[in-house]
């Protein structure tokens, strides 16, 4: 999505900040983001964070009976 000035608009985050920090802690790289700078994580760590968030969401949906299908 482009703004009127031609710049890309930043998408609003889907994950809460609390969830991101919780997952980073579980995945072992919370020390890199404790100052709020997520630019210090590797691409692999970012992928692991997304994968963990998806797995958690799928688990919650299956527990609630709201999964796909």
Per-residue pLDDT tens digits for 14-23: 789 999 999 9
Indicate the pTM of the whole model.
Answer: 0.71
Q: In the predicted model, is pLDDT for residue 1 greater than 50?
A: no
Note the pLDDT tens digit of each residue in 14-65. Answer: 789 999 999 999 999 999 999 999 999 999 999 999 999 999 999 999 988 8
Q: In the predicted model, is pLDDT for residue 66 greater than 70?
A: no
d(CA 63, CA 4): 43
d(CA 66, CA 64): 5
* pLDDT band at residue 10 under the 50/70/90 scheme: low
């Amino acid at each position: 999505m482009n703004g009127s000035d031609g710049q890309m608009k930043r998408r609003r985050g889907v994950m809460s900040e609390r969830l991101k920090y919780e997952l980073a802690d579980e995945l072992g790289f919370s020390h890199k983001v404790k100052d709020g700078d997520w630019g210090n994580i590797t691409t692999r760590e970012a992928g692991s964070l997304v994968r963990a968030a998806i797995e958690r969401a799928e688990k919650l949906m299956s527990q609630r009976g709201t999964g796909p299908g």
